[in-house]
Amino acid sequence: MKRRTLQQLIDLSRRQRDEAAAESAGAERDARAAGQTLESLTVYRRELERRGAAAAGTGMDPRLLVCRRQFADRLEQAIDAQADRRQVLDDAARERHQQLVERQKRLLAYEQLLNRRDHEARRTTLRRDQQHTDEQAGRLHTTRTTRMDSDE
């Protein structure tokens, strides 16, 4: 694979990783918001139960008690629905995070491959340069030796 092609793969992988990071952050935000909504509903239910217990001994109108009970039932349904929603969003956040991890690994693999190839190319160039220098030194030595022998 040519260096240019590998660099294009790295650029593409980087964009995919960045997109996955944005999706993961959004999914985590959504899951966190769903958890906060669930917590608010749960706190409200506790407050409603506390007020209901305090009002139970005051001889409330039976129609008002029925209305309170219906509201409490709807609130319970909303809490259950929100708990389900939070679970779905938590699962989606975990999935998006896993995709981010996989894309990051792919990007790192491409970058390591490029680095290894660059390192190997530098080593090859250094070996070639050293061989050239050695050959020049050998020729120079041979030339000097030949001159010294002819001068004698």
Tell which CATH classification among 3.30.450.20, 1.10.287.1700, 3.40.1390.10, 3.20.20.150 matches the domain 3-146: 1.10.287.1700
pLDDT at residue number 151: 67
pTM above 0.85, yes or no: no
Residue 53: which pLDDT band, with cuts at 50, 70 and 90? confident
Q: How far apart are CA 152 and CA 146, in angstroms?
A: 10
34-61 burial, b for 16+ CB within 10 Å, e for fewer?
A: bbeebeebeeeeeeeeeeeeeeeeeeee
Residue 56: which pLDDT band, with cuts at 50, 70 and 90? low
Average pLDDT over residues 125-143: 90
| Annotated domain spans of the chain | 3-146
